Structure 1
Amino acid sequence: MKLVRQIRNMNIIQSAATHRSSSVAARKIFYPAAERNKEPILSVLKEYIRSGPNQNFLEIGSGSGQHVAHFALYLPQVTFYPSEVDIGMLGSIVAYTKEISNVQSPILIDVTTNSDYWGAQTFRENSFDYIYNSNMIHIAPHACTVGLFENAGKLLKQNGILFTYGPYKIDGTISPESNVRFDESLKAENPEWGLKDIRDLEKLANENGLDLIEIFDMPANNKTIIWKKE
């Protein structure tokens, strides 16, 4: 079974490399929301990302690639590793990042799997300074959230940072009313979806060696949460 997974992972990496070199596949997908929030999120990242060289940043769920392309331009001291669970998005990530030297080829990653199978040379324990995930926790099965925190606990260096962005519930309460309606619509589409309570996430983080450090209020009733590996 382990050999099968290793072979599958090699095929995934080769698929990503193919998208990097294919002009046909490299077509930009544009999300207005990603365009609007990329600068506010970058302003938060800058408060925690250091100025020194040799820093590694993994994005789980890069989507179109708009965020990683924007961040990389303003943080040239950091090497970015974009990833996606949807192979159909890899071409867009390539299209946004192919001219940016500090962004690596995107890799297909299912965050519910153990990072040991993502690529032994890149995804070693205690090898990343930062991990970033935007707008996944509320619109994915709970197993994805569990996988995010478990793998972050393994991959981050000591004092490494996990950034999560999106809408959240706090102490059982959702606000404002627009987020209440959004939560209801998500659950109607899929019972596993919906806004997660920050207190529940904090317990999950603690189980994986991460502490909640700071919560930033963001535009459109979202938040950026800073989790640190102690």
Structure 2
Amino acid sequence: MMKGIYPYAKDESQKKLCAPAAERNKQAILEVLLQYIPQMTAVKSPVECLEVASGTGQHVVHFAQHLPGTQWQPAEFDTNDFPSIIAYASEVANISEPVFIDASLCPEQWPLEGRTFDVVYCANMIHISPKACTPGLFAGASAYLLKGGILFTYGPYAHGGVITPESNQKFDLSLKSRDAEWGLRDIDDLKKIAGNVGLVLENIHDMPANNKTLVWRKI
């Protein structure tokens, strides 16, 4: 989570950071996850879930609370967010200690040697990170997901070379004015990147505020 893009508040007494955007969208995203993960927990427990770019920790604690039979591994590039993630994680038993992951690095450099996951989840990273992080995310997800596992990505996207609505066009221009590496990625380009590492786009869920949740399956 880029704090300059997504504002946050801090509870000094508990070390918890609160991003209003994460608070607003966590339930809508959970409702998408509920269409997939309970089917997995019905046959396996725990279902191992990796969150890349955990940010404040608001999403992971919400999902962990409402998805019994899952075990969550938060990961974040900005280690300044670790105290907040740990503070949220202390509320539940099924969240592990956060780990540092730079999504631009090859999967072998992620601190997950010997581990596998059923789910990888990443929200609001692709459009506000260096371009190398996008293929890096897909490569890492493919490397650590079991066959049939799912990568969920959430955020605003272009599709077929078009960005809609106008508010997303303005957002894209604003991002690029801050950093030439940032900007909304096109779903068609993501499909090619994913296909190179054995992931296929299974579903697109339209979300509030002109966002989408993309569901990628490892084949």
Q: 2:138 aligns with which of 149, 153, 169?
A: 149
Select the structure that is richer in helix: 1
Q: Deviations over 1:128-162 (max 9, x none)?
A: 10000000111111100011001111110000000
1:68 and 1:171 mapped to 2: Cα distance? 31
Pairwise CA RMSD? 1.4
Distance across 2 between alignment mates of 1:124 and 1:212: 26
Does 1:64 find its partner at 2:56? yes
Unaligned runs of 5+ residues in structure 1 are 1-23
Alignment deviations for residues 84-134 of structure 1 (CA, whole Å, 9 cap, x no partner): 000100000011111310000011111112332333xx4436x11000000
Residue type of the partner of 1:118?
W
Quick one: distance in 1 between partners of 2:47 and 2:84? Answer: 24
**1:25·1:91 contact (CA, 8 Å) conserved in 2?**
no
Deviation, 1:48, is 1.0
Check the 8 A contact 1:84/1:107 in 2, yes or no: yes
Alignment correspondent of 1:9: none
The question of whether the paired residues in 2 share the 8 Å contact of 1:26 and 1:91 is answered with: no
Spell out the pairing of 1:137-176 with structure 2 (5 A cutoff).
Answer: 137-176=126-165
- 1 CA distance for matches of 2:175 and 2:69? 38
- Residue number in structure 2 paired with 1:45: 33
Is 1:31 equivalent to 2:23 in the alignment? no
Q: After TM superposition, where is structure 1 displaced by more than 6 Å over at least 4 residues in a row?
A: none
Distance in 1 between residues matched to 2:123 and 2:32, nearest whole Å: 13
Unaligned runs of 5+ in 2: 1-11
Task: Tell me the TM-score normalized by structure 2.
Answer: 0.90
Aligned-residue identity in percent: 50
2:200 corresponds to 1:211: yes
Give the C-alpha shift of residue 26 in structure 1.
5.7
Pairs aligned (count):
204
- 1:108 lines up with 2:100 in the alignment: yes
Give the structure with higher Rg (CA): 1
Counterparts of 2:28 and 2:154 in 1: how far apart (Å)?
11
Q: Secondary structure at the match of 1:81?
A: strand
Q: Does the CA-based 8 Å contact 1:215-1:226 persist in structure 2?
A: yes
